[in-house]
Amino acid sequence: MEKLYFGTDGIRGPVGTAPITAEFMLKLGWAAGKVLIAEGCNKVLIGKDTRTSGYMFESALEAGLSAAGVNIALLGPMPTPAIAYLTRTLNACAGIVISASHNPHYDNGIKFFSRDGMKLADAVEYKIEQALTEPMATADASHLGKAERVHDAAGRYIEFCKGTVTRGMDFSGLKLVVDCANGATYHVAPSVFAELGAKVIPISVSPDGLNINADCGSTKPKALQNAVITHGANLGIAFDGDGDRVIMVDHCGEIVDGDELLFLIARDHLRRGHETKAVVGTLMTNLGLEIALNTMGLALHRTQVGDRYVMERLLAENLLLGGETSGHIICLDKTTTGDGIVSALQALAAMIRANTDLHTLKSGMIKCPQSIINVPLPGKVDLSHCAPVQEAVKAAEATLGNKGRVLLRPSGTEPVVRVMVEGQESDVVDHLAQDIANVVRQVVAN
């Protein structure tokens, strides 16, 4: 059964356009509260990133939950993975995140975590959607939910992150540029690395409600690359607006993406004798990672794009490490969801244990040329049965033969279709991707 509101990563869209409105968030808070109370819930956490609209939606969700009779603990601006962690440790039955992740400030969204710090089960999301169709009824005045603020949330999360590396791990001697995307990590990430001994040069740590992800962070790392070179840093670390993604930049100014970080962490696991047989990636994961893992005796299991699907495969096959090219990495031996800070710490620890620099460490994986073009869509457009598009895809596949692949998929978080072509020659890959993208543009325009 298709969900009406919930996508692969919660509910997301432009602020002021249904369903991302104050009125809907009030009803959503009530509907979620109604469902959760029926399951014995009495406490829900709410956290948010730094968007101005977060204040509006926080108030609306708080009112809806209170009307349903649920108590609320307000965390303020906190990374998405921090809310997952705090939901578990503060004995809440659910956590709500107000964020549109890597999207611009004019978008926003809602994500839910269960009491165990994982994404809410499909069955619960269906129940919430059903409750949204019912008339809203306020609980008796004596049973309304109460709200409180959690004042030590940041400190709790900082200590948790530090605890995910080996006790005594010393980052002194490292000079790090840390780009917080003017988002939810701005007040925690620099402290984590500094308290572990690194010299930290923070950038994009002055959120104003509108500058989240604006020419900064993991999706636009140019400023980080320049800062690493300018400051002569050992490396740079960039998070997205809600802190569940991370990419790095080595001392040469070269980007180290999620696929390469998965390689570094997986190899470190093997070197330390961790029992592992596979890593989980997605359809977009670079073929170079699969080849590198195979060389180490590990398999790459591919899923649909989206951390929800990566997590499902990890749990189903009792695996510990998976993620996406974008830098959304899940280290299940450390935490319950994708966590940019925790993932960065694991990569840094691997570098320290190998006694080498990031540039050298990543050289064990050779990425295959990959071209990804995002073509804007006016709405939901099914291209799977569009003859001109499918003919362009088949033509590209014939050119690549068995030495490459083509993937066409709609984004789960943005109104675009992603055209991905991967092969052995960058010029050919770029040309084929552009050819398919042009056909898609023509079809969409008509």
User: What are the residue numbers of the active site?
Assistant: 101
DSSP E strands, 353-424: 370-376, 405-410, 416-422
The CA angle 305-81-211, to the nearest 5 degrees, is 85
| Residue corresponding to tokens 């966590």 | 339
Nearest to 282 by CA among 260, 301, 308: 301
Helix orientation angle between 80-89 and 340-354, rounded to the nearest 10 degrees: 100
Q: Where does residue 407 rank: exposed (0-12), middle (13-18), buried (19+ CB within 10 A)?
A: middle
Cα separation values, 388 from 73, 313, 316, 405, Å: 53, 34, 38, 18
Q: Where does residue 387 rank: exposed (0-12), middle (13-18), buried (19+ CB within 10 A)?
A: exposed
The H or E element containing residue 412 is: none
The CA angle 106-219-261, to the nearest 5 degrees, is 140
The sign of the dihedral angle between the CA atoms of 166, 167, 171, 173 is negative
Q: Check if the beta carbon of residue 231 is closer than 8 Å to that of residue 175.
A: yes
State the virtual CA torsion across 8, 260, 418, 179 in degrees, nearest 10: 80
Residue 141: other Cβ atoms inside 10 A: 6
Q: Check if the beta carbon of residue 154 is closer than 8 Å to that of residue 214.
A: no
| Residue corresponding to tokens 């009112």 | 63
Q: What is the end-to-end Cα distance of the chain in Å, rounded?
A: 31
Q: What does the alpha-carbon distance between residue 36 and residue 121 come to, in Å, rounded to a whole number?
A: 12
Q: Check if the beta carbon of residue 339 is closer than 8 Å to that of residue 158.
A: no
Q: What does the alpha-carbon distance between residue 241 and residue 369 come to, in Å, rounded to a whole number?
A: 28
